[in-house]
Chain A
Amino acid sequence: MKKFIAVIPLLLASFVASAAPQGSILVKTVAEQEQTVTAADGTRHTVLAPAKAVLPGHAVVYTVTFENVGHEAARDVVVTNPVPEHTNYQSGSAFGPGTELLFSADGGRSFAPPDALEVRGADGSVRAAGPEDYTHIRFVLKNALTPGAVAFARYRTIVK
């Protein structure tokens, strides 16, 4: 009897995984700008608002939210963002609670922490990669994303 019961959960787990018509994660990316808002009492606050008048030199804040809308915990969650064309990643701006931060400077083929990232120059010399070399930003969620949980990651790019 015990042996019979032990088998069923495994079967159920694989059945759920292969038959899921929808993914388990709802992923949303918004693009915003920091704006200074003056409150009624005259104090000023910085808020994120939908991008208004985006010009060369301006910073755009991207926020990716990912929510587990399934019934099972999601593990090894990795969020990969290309650095948009016509922008540069703003150094030091990326953060996401509970995530590890990696970058790619080779179009997404390989990822490493910023101080370990290298690029190869046209003459074959190797140098440390700078923010303007980044092609992708990657957030690796350290812990599982349980059903109903929402996590987010944020970074800024500068319009060239």
Chain B
Amino acid sequence: MTSVRKTLKFLALAGLALGMTAVALPAAATGTAAGTSITNRATVSYTVGGVAQTVINSSPTGNSTPGAAGGADTAFVVDRLVNYTVTTVDTTAVVGTPGQTLLVTTFLVTNTGNDKEGFALSAANLVGGTVFSGAATNTDTIDMANIKVYYGPDATSAYNAGTATLGNPDNIAQDTGRRVFVIADLPVAAKNGDGANVRLTAKAAVAGSAGATLETATVGADTASAVDVVISAAVASTTAGVTTSLKTSDSGYAVSAPTLTVTKSEAVISDPVNGTTNPKAIPGATVEYTLTITNTGATAANGVAFTDPVATQLTLSQNVYNTNQNVTITAGGTTRYCTAEAGGTDTNSDGCVFAANALGVNPTTPIVIPTGANNTAVIKYRVTIN
């Protein structure tokens, strides 16, 4: 052994005071699982009077009993670091129409600590503000209804009613993500361009407690033999000296709807005196009304219907257009006709009727007003002045 020592280089040990300098080390994203026991036992060999002695192992309090199997481990348990991220998977607002139900915004909760975690989830409407810019702008103007939170089976699958579970995920392993879905309804009164933003809140909970027991930072000295809880500063939330965790992410919905404007014009077609040459609005004259309905919204209007009051000094004309109809409807480049019966009963069931001093048009074949080139519907009918 002496000869070996002579050939080895001797290190300058003075510079190794480095061991005492504090080094800031970031906690690893994953790492040794919480609860792992890390043990250490040193072995000392020596000679007395030139005679090799039986080795002596270390113990936490000091051991001097020789033996290769002697001594005791110096041990401590790796503690639990609670850390996670919450992000939204949506890159643009989720578009819906007024009254549409079960619209889905998608989030991802990823456990970046070193132990399995459950999460207590909740979602709520935001008030004001903008989450997404771009085509589907959604500055928050309205609230969603019936907000519910579901979680999916993994980190990558889109929402599927068959695999989504309502409630709190109870066991997400370290370094694992899980998709969370916030599902809600758009109110019927929503208008084109309205936006509704929502916020998902996730709090880490002890795995197995169904989200009921929040992870709480251990206060006081470390217990070497038990798993203590440390909450990463990235998610820590302290109230009255008690630290739990909280992280949020926002997403939102945008309303795409038709926007209809109506203009009404009139023209005197004929009168008893002048005929069709410069007719005047005198008793007995025929007047034609034109209703122009224009859709300036973002989606087609389906099933447009209306009632148009007719002054009591006027009488709705019959047998005006086509074969014997009295209302023309031009929409989507085609013209059709219906008959508004004077007696208040829609006897031919075509959806048009004159009742309660108003022309009611609600055709059984719905009027559709799209956006873009053909975004106008024109309705005409005639009356005579009493």
Binding site for B on A (CB under 8 A): 13-14, 16-17, 20, 22-31, 34, 36, 46, 50-62, 64-67, 69-70, 72-82, 84-87, 90, 92-97, 99-102, 112-113, 115-116, 140, 145, 154-156, 158-160
Cβ–Cβ contact A85 & B38, under 8 A: yes
Contacting residues, chain A, for B222 (C-beta < 8 A): 50-54
**Residues in B whose Cβ lies below 8 Å from that of A145:** 46
- Beta-carbon contact of A57 and B48 below 8 Å: no
A132 to B251 CA separation, bound complex (whole angstroms): 44
- Closest chain A residue to B64 by CB distance? A26
Instruction: Output the nearest chain A residue to B73 by Cβ-Cβ distance.
Output: A29
Residues of B within 8 A of A79 (CB): 42-44
8 more CB-based (< 8 A) A-B contacts, given A23-B66, A25-B46, A81-B40: A23-B64, A53-B79, A58-B27, A59-B25, A87-B38, A90-B23, A95-B17, A140-B5
With the chains together, A23 CA to B46 CA distance in Å? Answer: 10
**Residues on the B chain within 8 Å of A24, using CB:** 46, 48, 53, 64
* CA–CA, A20 and B39, complex, Å: 29
> Which of these, B17, B31, B56, B114, contacts A25 with CB under 8 Å?
B56
Does B349 touch A at the CB level, under 8 Å? no
Answer yes or no: B58 CB below 8 A from chain A CBs.
yes
Inter-subunit contact B224/A27 (CB<8 Å): no
B77 to chain A: closest residue by CB: A54
On whether the beta carbons of B38 and A27 are closer than 8 Å, the reply is no
Q: Are B42 and A29 in contact (CB under 8 A)?
A: yes
Q: State whether B19 touches A94 (Cβ < 8 A).
A: yes
Nearest-Cβ distance from residue A115 to partner chain B, whole angstroms: 8
Q: Which of B7-15, B255-263, B270-278, B318-326 makes up part of the contact surface?
A: B7-15
A-B contact pairs, 12 of them (CB 8 A): A16-B49, A23-B64, A29-B40, A36-B22, A53-B228, A54-B38, A56-B30, A61-B19, A69-B64, A76-B46, A93-B18, A140-B5
Closest-by-CB residue of B relative to A36 is B22
Chain A residue contacts of B32, Cβ below 8 A: 56, 86, 159-160
CB nearest neighbor in A for B1: A76
> Interface code B58-88, partner A: CB below 8 Å = 1, 0 otherwise?
1111111110000100111111010000000
B188 interfacial contact with A, CB 8 Å: no
Number of interface residues of B (CB under 8 A): 65
> Is A95 within 8 A of B78, CB to CB?
no
Residue of A nearest to B49 (CB): A13
User: Who on chain A is nearest to B230 by CB?
Assistant: A53
With a CB–CB cut-off of 8 A, which chain B residues contact A100?
5, 8, 10-11
Select one of A55, A62, A86, A112 contacting B230, CB under 8 A.
A55
Q: Which residue of A lies closest to B23 (CB)?
A: A59
B362 sits at the interface (CB 8 A): no
Instruction: Flag if B76 contacts A78 (CB, 8 Å).
Output: no
On whether the beta carbons of B46 and A52 are closer than 8 Å, the reply is: no
Q: Which residues from chain A contact B76 at a C-beta distance below 8 Å?
A: 31, 51, 54, 60
Binary CB contact string for chain B from 205 to 248 against chain A (1 if under 8 A, 0 otherwise) = 00000000000001001101000101000000000000000000
CB-CB < 8 A to A60: which residues of B? 38, 76
User: How far does the Cβ of B276 sit from chain A's closest Cβ, in whole Å?
Assistant: 93
In the complex, which residues of chain B have a beta carbon less than 8 angstroms from the beta carbon of A51?
Answer: 76, 222, 224
B45 at the interface (CB under 8 A from A): yes
Contacts of B264 in A (CB 8 A): none
* Shortest CB distance A96–B (Å): 7
Task: Give complex CA distance A97, B62 in Å.
Answer: 20
Knowing A24-B53, A50-B221, A93-B18, the reply to whether A55 touches B74 (Cβ < 8 A) is no
- Chain A positions within 8 Å of B224 at CB level: 50-51
A152 to chain B, nearest CB (A): 11
Say yes or no: A29-B74 contact (C-beta < 8 A), given A93-B18, A113-B8: yes
